[in-house]
Amino acid sequence: MKVMNKKLPRFKNEDEERTYWAEHDSTEVMDWKEAKKILLPKLKPSVKTISLRLPESMLEELKLLANKRDVPYQSLLKIFLSERIEKELNLHKA
C-alpha cells in the first residue's frame, strides 16, 4: 500500500493510537485504492466480560444442550448468539 505525504506518528500504546484514529482520516496517510485483503486466521478477537441475567431454567437447559454436544455452555451460548446475529443481519440486508 502506498503511503501518502503525511507521516504516520509512532504510538506509545493502543489508547494513543485509538485517540489518533478517532480524530484523523486514514486517507491522509494511506492510499486505500492499493489496499489488499489479507487473512489473519490466528488472530483472536477481543473479548469483553459481561454480566447476563438468565432465568435459571434457561441456564439449566443451555447447560444440558452443551453437555450433549460436549462443549462448555458459555461457548454454546456464543455460538447461538453468533448464528442469530448473522441471521438477523442478513434479514435486514434483503
What's the pLDDT at 45?
83
Same domain? 59 vs 84: yes
Q: Is residue 2 part of a domain?
A: yes
d(CA 78, CA 36): 30
Q: Is residue 22 part of a domain?
A: yes
Long-range contacts of 63-66 (CB under 8 A, 24+ apart): none
Give the orientation angle of helix 56-69 with respect to helix 73-93, to 10 degrees.
Answer: 100
User: 90: domain CATH number?
Assistant: 1.10.1220
Structural domain count, the chain: 2
Query: How many residues are given for the chain?
Result: 94
Amino acid (one-letter) located at 91: L
Q: Is residue 44 part of a domain?
A: no
Average pLDDT over residues 52-81: 97
Same domain? 63 vs 91: yes
Same domain? 24 vs 53: no
Residue 5's pLDDT band (boundaries 50, 70, 90)? low
16-58 confidence digits (pLDDT tens): 999 999 998 888 888 888 888 888 888 888 889 999 999 999 9
Q: Is residue 43 part of a domain?
A: no
Enclosing domain of residue 24: 1-36
Q: Is residue 26 part of a domain?
A: yes
Task: Compute, in degrees rounded to 10, the torsion defined by CA atoms 82, 86, 92, 93.
Answer: 150
